[in-house]
Amino acid sequence: MVRLGIAYGVPSVNAFCTPTGIFLTVSTEDEVVTELVAIDRRGTDLGRVAEINEVSRQVERGALSVDEAADLLEAIAAAPPPYPFWVHLLARGTSCAAWSLLLGGKAADFLPAMVAGFIVHLVVSGLSTRLPNFLAIYFGALVGALWAVLAVNLGVGSEVAALVVGVIIPLVPGMAMTNAVRDLIAGDLVAGVARGAEALLVAVAIASGVWSVLAASRFAVFL
Protein backbone atom coordinates (compact mmCIF):
# COMPACT_ATOMS: atom_id res chain seq x y z
CA MET A 1 0.00 0.00 0.00
CA VAL A 2 2.84 2.38 0.82
CA ARG A 3 4.66 1.55 -2.42
CA LEU A 4 1.52 2.14 -4.47
CA GLY A 5 0.78 5.45 -2.77
CA ILE A 6 4.30 6.80 -3.18
CA ALA A 7 4.48 5.62 -6.80
CA TYR A 8 1.27 7.51 -7.64
CA GLY A 9 2.56 10.70 -6.04
CA VAL A 10 0.63 10.73 -2.77
CA PRO A 11 2.54 13.00 -0.34
CA SER A 12 2.00 10.85 2.76
CA VAL A 13 0.89 7.23 3.11
CA ASN A 14 0.74 5.44 6.46
CA ALA A 15 -0.34 1.83 6.86
CA PHE A 16 -0.78 -0.17 10.05
CA CYS A 17 -1.77 -3.82 9.89
CA THR A 18 -2.69 -6.35 12.54
CA PRO A 19 -4.14 -9.86 12.12
CA THR A 20 -7.61 -8.40 12.77
CA GLY A 21 -7.53 -5.07 10.96
CA ILE A 22 -5.88 -2.93 8.29
CA PHE A 23 -5.56 0.84 8.82
CA LEU A 24 -4.60 3.15 5.97
CA THR A 25 -4.21 6.93 6.10
CA VAL A 26 -3.58 9.00 2.98
CA SER A 27 -2.67 12.67 3.44
CA THR A 28 -2.63 15.40 0.80
CA GLU A 29 -2.37 19.16 1.07
CA ASP A 30 -6.15 19.51 1.27
CA GLU A 31 -7.39 16.51 3.26
CA VAL A 32 -6.59 13.44 5.29
CA VAL A 33 -8.46 10.22 4.54
CA THR A 34 -8.36 7.21 6.86
CA GLU A 35 -9.94 3.82 6.19
CA LEU A 36 -10.24 0.74 8.38
CA VAL A 37 -10.94 -2.77 7.12
CA ALA A 38 -11.79 -5.36 9.78
CA ILE A 39 -10.61 -8.96 9.23
CA ASP A 40 -12.62 -11.84 10.64
CA ARG A 41 -11.32 -14.71 8.49
CA ARG A 42 -7.58 -15.18 8.13
CA GLY A 43 -5.38 -17.41 6.06
CA THR A 44 -2.09 -17.52 4.17
CA ASP A 45 -1.85 -17.50 0.39
CA LEU A 46 1.74 -16.84 -0.62
CA GLY A 47 0.81 -17.04 -4.30
CA ARG A 48 -1.45 -14.00 -4.00
CA VAL A 49 1.17 -12.21 -1.92
CA ALA A 50 3.69 -12.68 -4.74
CA GLU A 51 1.19 -11.51 -7.37
CA ILE A 52 0.32 -8.36 -5.40
CA ASN A 53 4.00 -7.61 -4.85
CA GLU A 54 4.55 -7.89 -8.58
CA VAL A 55 1.75 -5.38 -9.21
CA SER A 56 3.34 -2.91 -6.79
CA ARG A 57 6.72 -3.29 -8.55
CA GLN A 58 5.13 -2.65 -11.94
CA VAL A 59 3.48 0.47 -10.55
CA GLU A 60 6.84 1.68 -9.23
CA ARG A 61 8.31 1.24 -12.71
CA GLY A 62 5.46 3.33 -14.15
CA ALA A 63 4.09 0.43 -16.18
CA LEU A 64 0.52 0.57 -14.82
CA SER A 65 -2.06 3.30 -14.50
CA VAL A 66 -4.32 3.56 -11.45
CA ASP A 67 -7.21 1.86 -13.26
CA GLU A 68 -4.99 -0.92 -14.61
CA ALA A 69 -3.52 -1.61 -11.16
CA ALA A 70 -7.00 -1.64 -9.61
CA ASP A 71 -8.24 -4.10 -12.24
CA LEU A 72 -5.28 -6.39 -11.60
CA LEU A 73 -5.80 -6.30 -7.83
CA GLU A 74 -9.50 -7.08 -8.24
CA ALA A 75 -8.65 -9.98 -10.56
CA ILE A 76 -6.20 -11.36 -7.98
CA ALA A 77 -8.80 -11.07 -5.22
CA ALA A 78 -11.46 -12.80 -7.33
CA ALA A 79 -9.20 -15.56 -8.68
CA PRO A 80 -10.13 -19.11 -7.66
CA PRO A 81 -7.72 -21.19 -5.57
CA PRO A 82 -4.76 -22.44 -7.65
CA TYR A 83 -5.44 -26.06 -6.68
CA PRO A 84 -8.80 -27.87 -6.54
CA PHE A 85 -10.16 -29.27 -3.31
CA TRP A 86 -9.18 -32.85 -4.09
CA VAL A 87 -5.50 -31.83 -4.40
CA HIS A 88 -5.61 -30.28 -0.91
CA LEU A 89 -7.34 -33.41 0.36
CA LEU A 90 -4.73 -35.72 -1.17
CA ALA A 91 -1.88 -33.55 0.10
CA ARG A 92 -3.26 -33.59 3.66
CA GLY A 93 -3.71 -37.37 3.62
CA THR A 94 -0.25 -38.02 2.18
CA SER A 95 1.32 -35.62 4.67
CA CYS A 96 -0.33 -37.32 7.64
CA ALA A 97 0.70 -40.75 6.39
CA ALA A 98 4.31 -39.68 5.87
CA TRP A 99 4.50 -38.03 9.30
CA SER A 100 3.16 -41.16 10.98
CA LEU A 101 5.93 -43.25 9.41
CA LEU A 102 8.62 -40.70 10.27
CA LEU A 103 7.48 -40.65 13.89
CA GLY A 104 7.80 -44.35 14.53
CA GLY A 105 4.79 -45.82 12.77
CA LYS A 106 4.89 -49.04 10.79
CA ALA A 107 3.88 -49.77 7.23
CA ALA A 108 0.44 -50.85 8.46
CA ASP A 109 -0.12 -47.29 9.75
CA PHE A 110 0.33 -45.61 6.37
CA LEU A 111 -3.19 -46.17 5.03
CA PRO A 112 -5.03 -45.45 8.33
CA ALA A 113 -3.05 -42.23 8.72
CA MET A 114 -3.91 -41.18 5.18
CA VAL A 115 -7.62 -41.85 5.80
CA ALA A 116 -7.35 -39.87 9.04
CA GLY A 117 -5.84 -36.98 7.09
CA PHE A 118 -8.77 -37.07 4.67
CA ILE A 119 -11.28 -37.03 7.52
CA VAL A 120 -9.56 -34.24 9.43
CA HIS A 121 -9.31 -32.06 6.32
CA LEU A 122 -13.01 -32.55 5.55
CA VAL A 123 -13.98 -31.73 9.15
CA VAL A 124 -11.78 -28.64 9.47
CA SER A 125 -12.62 -27.20 6.05
CA GLY A 126 -16.33 -27.86 6.55
CA LEU A 127 -16.54 -26.37 10.05
CA SER A 128 -14.20 -23.39 9.50
CA THR A 129 -16.90 -21.55 7.54
CA ARG A 130 -19.53 -22.10 10.26
CA LEU A 131 -17.61 -22.07 13.54
CA PRO A 132 -14.68 -20.11 15.01
CA ASN A 133 -11.28 -21.44 14.01
CA PHE A 134 -10.65 -22.72 17.55
CA LEU A 135 -13.66 -25.04 17.44
CA ALA A 136 -12.94 -26.20 13.89
CA ILE A 137 -9.39 -27.18 14.89
CA TYR A 138 -10.65 -28.76 18.12
CA PHE A 139 -13.14 -31.02 16.34
CA GLY A 140 -10.57 -31.82 13.65
CA ALA A 141 -8.03 -32.99 16.24
CA LEU A 142 -10.75 -34.84 18.14
CA VAL A 143 -11.97 -36.74 15.08
CA GLY A 144 -8.40 -37.52 13.97
CA ALA A 145 -7.41 -38.88 17.38
CA LEU A 146 -10.66 -40.84 17.60
CA TRP A 147 -10.00 -42.47 14.24
CA ALA A 148 -6.43 -43.34 15.32
CA VAL A 149 -7.66 -45.08 18.49
CA LEU A 150 -10.40 -46.92 16.62
CA ALA A 151 -8.01 -48.00 13.86
CA VAL A 152 -5.61 -49.58 16.36
CA ASN A 153 -8.43 -51.23 18.32
CA LEU A 154 -9.86 -52.69 15.11
CA GLY A 155 -6.45 -54.05 14.10
CA VAL A 156 -6.08 -51.75 11.10
CA GLY A 157 -3.25 -49.71 12.61
CA SER A 158 -0.49 -50.59 15.03
CA GLU A 159 0.83 -47.43 16.75
CA VAL A 160 -1.67 -45.02 18.34
CA ALA A 161 0.99 -42.41 19.15
CA ALA A 162 2.38 -42.36 15.60
CA LEU A 163 -1.10 -42.10 14.11
CA VAL A 164 -2.22 -39.33 16.45
CA VAL A 165 0.92 -37.22 16.03
CA GLY A 166 0.94 -37.76 12.28
CA VAL A 167 -2.63 -36.51 12.08
CA ILE A 168 -2.20 -33.40 14.22
CA ILE A 169 1.15 -32.14 12.88
CA PRO A 170 -0.43 -30.56 9.75
CA LEU A 171 -2.76 -28.67 12.12
CA VAL A 172 0.13 -27.14 14.10
CA PRO A 173 0.27 -23.36 13.41
CA GLY A 174 3.89 -23.22 12.31
CA MET A 175 3.35 -20.26 9.98
CA ALA A 176 1.58 -18.25 12.70
CA MET A 177 4.34 -18.93 15.23
CA THR A 178 7.06 -17.98 12.73
CA ASN A 179 5.25 -14.75 11.80
CA ALA A 180 4.73 -13.92 15.47
CA VAL A 181 8.45 -14.16 16.19
CA ARG A 182 9.28 -12.20 13.04
CA ASP A 183 6.86 -9.39 13.96
CA LEU A 184 8.19 -9.19 17.52
CA ILE A 185 11.78 -8.99 16.27
CA ALA A 186 10.78 -6.27 13.79
CA GLY A 187 9.16 -4.26 16.58
CA ASP A 188 5.53 -4.85 15.51
CA LEU A 189 4.49 -5.72 19.05
CA VAL A 190 0.71 -5.62 18.52
CA ALA A 191 0.81 -7.90 15.47
CA GLY A 192 3.41 -10.19 17.07
CA VAL A 193 1.44 -10.65 20.28
CA ALA A 194 -1.80 -11.16 18.34
CA ARG A 195 -0.26 -13.81 16.09
CA GLY A 196 1.38 -15.50 19.06
CA ALA A 197 -1.93 -15.59 20.93
CA GLU A 198 -3.65 -17.06 17.88
CA ALA A 199 -0.97 -19.75 17.54
CA LEU A 200 -1.25 -20.56 21.25
CA LEU A 201 -5.03 -20.83 20.97
CA VAL A 202 -4.73 -23.26 18.04
CA ALA A 203 -2.22 -25.34 20.00
CA VAL A 204 -4.64 -25.48 22.94
CA ALA A 205 -7.44 -26.56 20.59
CA ILE A 206 -5.29 -29.39 19.19
CA ALA A 207 -4.21 -30.55 22.64
CA SER A 208 -7.79 -30.39 23.94
CA GLY A 209 -9.15 -32.46 21.06
CA VAL A 210 -6.50 -35.17 21.45
CA TRP A 211 -6.80 -35.18 25.26
CA SER A 212 -10.59 -35.59 25.06
CA VAL A 213 -10.24 -38.78 23.01
CA LEU A 214 -7.34 -40.28 24.95
CA ALA A 215 -8.98 -39.54 28.31
CA ALA A 216 -12.28 -41.06 27.14
CA SER A 217 -10.53 -44.16 25.74
CA ARG A 218 -8.68 -44.76 29.02
CA PHE A 219 -11.91 -44.34 30.95
CA ALA A 220 -13.60 -46.85 28.66
CA VAL A 221 -10.75 -49.34 29.26
CA PHE A 222 -11.21 -49.07 33.02
CA LEU A 223 -14.95 -49.66 32.60
At residue 222, the pLDDT reads 37
Q: In angstroms, rounded to a whole number, what is the distance separating the alpha carbons of residues 202 and 137?
A: 7
CA 114, distance to chain mean position in Å, is 20
Domain residues of the chain, as ranges? 2-78, 85-222
Report helix, strand or coil for 32. Answer: strand
Could you read off the pLDDT tens digit of each residue along the chain, which spans 223 residues?
Answer: 888 888 888 888 998 888 888 999 998 888 899 999 988 777 778 888 899 999 999 998 888 888 999 999 999 988 888 888 889 889 989 998 998 888 888 888 888 889 988 999 899 888 888 888 888 999 999 998 998 888 888 888 788 888 888 888 888 888 788 888 888 898 888 888 888 888 898 899 999 999 988 888 765 443 3
At residue 218, the pLDDT reads 67
Helices (DSSP H) in the chain: which residue ranges? 2-7, 46-60, 66-78, 85-102, 110-127, 133-153, 160-168, 174-186, 189-222
At residue 51, the pLDDT reads 92
Q: Across the beta sheet with 21-27, what order do the strands follow?
A: 12-18, 21-27, 32-38
At residue 139, the pLDDT reads 93
At residue 219, the pLDDT reads 52
φ, ψ at 33 (rounded to 5°): -115, 125
What are the distances in angstroms from CA 217 to CA 104, 105, 115, 166, 212? 21, 20, 20, 19, 9
CB 160 within 8 Å of CB 108: no
At residue 109, the pLDDT reads 85
